[in-house]
Structure 1
Amino acid sequence: MSDFSERDRELLAKFGMTERDERMAESETEPDGLTGRVHYGLHLDQPDEEMISVSIRVPKSTLDELTETARRYHISRSEYMRRKLAAPVG
C-alpha cells in the first residue's frame, strides 16, 4: 500500500517523478546518479588536513546551473561542488 496521498502523486507527476524516484532522492544510502551516496561532512573526512580555498573561472551559465542544482538538493553550492569533485568517475 502506498503512503503517498493524491496530492503527493500530483506534485510528483508535475516534476516528472515517480514514488520510487522520490524515495531514491530522499535516501541517504542509495546512490542517485546526480550526487551519488550522500555523506554529510564529506569534505571533513580528514580533520587533521589543512583546508585550502580554490578559485576557478567558469561561464556564468555553468555557475547558474550549479547554484540551481544545489538549491534543489537544499545544500550550498560549495557543498554540491565538493560532492561532485569527490564522486567516483564511472
Structure 2
Amino acid sequence: LMNVRRCGHSENFFFVEVGRSAVTGPGEFWMQVDDSVVAQNMHETLLEAMKALSEEFRLRSKSQSNSGPGGGATASNPISVPSRRHHPNPPP
C-alpha cells in the first residue's frame, strides 16, 4: 500500500497505479471484475486501507517528534551495557 499512487474504477474495471518503489516498478494495474459495483467496492476498500495507513503513519511521526530525540512510541528496546571491568593490575 505504501507504493500506491492512486486507484480508481471505471465501469467494470478497477485500477491501481504504483510508483517506482513497487516490486513491479512503476505502472498501472487494470483488473476487470464482474460489474461496476464490485469495481467501486474494491476502490473504496483500498482507499479506506490507504487512509488508515496514512493516519497510522501520521500519528507515529507526531509521537516521535513530540517526545524528542531518542523517544517515542516506536523507539527500540534499550540495550544492556556491561559495566566497566576493573583490572587488579592496571597497565603502566
What TM-score, normalized to structure 2?
0.24
The structure with the greater share of residues assigned to strand is 2
The structure with the greater share of residues assigned to helix is 1
Q: Pick the structure with greater CA Rg.
A: 2
